[in-house]
A and B are shown apart, each in its own frame.
Chain A
Amino acid sequence: KQEVTQIPAALSVPEGENLVLNCSFTDSAIYNLQWFRQDPGKGLTSLLLIQSSQREQTSGRLNASLDKSSGRSTLYIAASQPGDSATYLCAVRPDNQGGKLIFGQGTELSVKP
């Protein structure tokens, strides 16, 4: 059974810092992995999607890596800003299970001005 774990559960950093959020999954048979952002009381915004054959994806100040064999992904945020404060969710799409996603518990990020 696929399980997704995110560490840390919460993180508080001063503005300008570079930071790394971690995601691990137990079954390497994945189709892709997706990072989302969720603001309080809001829906999910897709940040980056990495196909199982890819190693990383970049969008602006965000970079996500995937090491499928070790069951790990990281989300790197460069030069953090207060507007980055949100909960970041990692989700794995298992192979051969349709488009169903398995989510981690999320990392709650707070960037202090």
Chain B
Amino acid sequence: NAGVMQNPRHLVRRRGQEARLRCSPMKGHSHVYWYRQLPEEGLKFMVYLQKENIIDESGMPKERFSAEFPKEGPSILRIQQVVRGDSAAYFCASSPVQGSSQRSGNTIYFGEGSWLTVV
């Protein structure tokens, strides 16, 4: 069972460009979460999605950031008009359906991260 797959692993963008980060959850997982880790800071929750729905976006910056998890395909975190302060590691995580009786039903699995550098 492949883990949570993120790509690209490393992305360099010039100020003002767009960054698109992709996340394929583990097989059978229908919940996706995005976190951001700024340099010298801890991981901060950004957004929680289920297929075609945004459940909690309380950690998303109000402007330039958006996320989606379509019925088919990976989840996408999109950052428009990037600025230097967006340089960070962006982690995706997935979990199975909540309330699962499986032993691992409550564990959240993280991808390897996408490192965005804005120059």
Enumerate chain B interface residues (CB-CB to A < 8 A).
31, 33, 35, 41-45, 48, 55-56, 91, 93, 95, 98, 106-113, 115
CA–CA, A33 to B110, complex, Å?
15
Which residues on A sit within 8 Å (CB–CB) of B31? Answer: 98-99
A66 at the interface (CB under 8 A from B): no
Besides A32-B106, A93-B108, 12 more A-B contacts (Cβ < 8 Å) are A34-B108, A42-B113, A43-B91, A91-B43, A98-B48, A98-B56, A99-B33, A99-B93, A101-B35, A101-B93, A103-B42, A103-B43
Which residues on A sit within 8 Å (CB–CB) of B35? Answer: 101, 103
A22 at the interface (CB under 8 A from B): no
On whether the beta carbons of A43 and B111 are closer than 8 Å, the reply is: yes
Interface contact tally, CB-CB below 8 A: 61
CB distance from B57 to the nearest CB of A (A): 11
Given the known inter-chain contacts A42-B112, A43-B91, A44-B91, please indicate yes or no for A101 contacting B106, CB distance below 8 A.
no
A105 at the interface (CB under 8 A from B): yes
Which residues on B sit within 8 Å (CB–CB) of A112? Answer: none
- Residue in A43, A51, A104 whose CB lies within 8 Å of B110: A43
On whether the beta carbons of B110 and A44 are closer than 8 Å, the reply is: yes
On whether the beta carbons of A100 and B45 are closer than 8 Å, the reply is: yes
Say which size band chain A's interface belongs to: 20 to 34
A70 at the interface (CB under 8 A from B): no
Given the known inter-chain contacts A42-B113, A43-B112, A103-B44, please indicate yes or no for A98 contacting B98, CB distance below 8 A.
yes
Proximity string of chain A (85-103) to chain B, C-beta cutoff 8 Å, 1 when within and 0 when not: 0000101010001111111
On whether the beta carbons of B42 and A99 are closer than 8 Å, the reply is: no
On whether the beta carbons of A51 and B56 are closer than 8 Å, the reply is: no
CA–CA, A43 to B37, complex, Å?
11
Which residues on A sit within 8 Å (CB–CB) of B113? Answer: 42-43
Q: Which residue of B lies closest to A43 (CB)?
A: B112
